[in-house]
Amino acid sequence: MLPIRNSVVCLLLPVFISVGSVSAHHSHSNYETIEFTHLQGKVTELYWINPHTWIFIEVSDAEGESMTWALEGASPVELRRDGWSEDDVQVGDTSP
């Protein structure tokens, strides 16, 4: 009986250890969460892929120079849970 119990522990221990590292991957400490930046521009690229969605927006700075902002979003699954769909943002869309 003891070898079976040891086998189960050996099989489950890596699973429990990996759960902590997976949740640690999703830290948001590197993002500004208090101040917001309003961008006006045109969507040039859109990637609705795992593990994170990406939207690239071409904007003009104060001097009129064009630059591209890369916006990293949640996973497609999380966005769908929050009511978003792939059709909500398309390449070519412009912000008001």
The CATH number linked to 53 is 2.40.50
Q: Any idea what the Cα angle at residue 35 is, between residues 76 and 92, rounded to 5°?
A: 45
Within-domain flag for 6: no
Q: What angle do CA 88, 92, 95 make, to 5 degrees?
A: 70
pLDDT string in tens for the chain (96-residue length): 455 554 555 555 555 555 444 545 566 667 777 888 888 999 999 999 999 999 999 999 889 999 999 999 999 999 999 999 999 999 999 977
pTM: 0.66
Domain assignment of residue 12, yes or no: no
CA distances from 95 to 38, 42, 86, 89 (A): 10, 7, 17, 10
Instruction: Give the domain range for residue 57.
Output: 35-96
Instruction: Name the domain count of the chain.
Output: 1
Does a structural domain hold residue 18? no
Give me the count of residues in the chain. 96
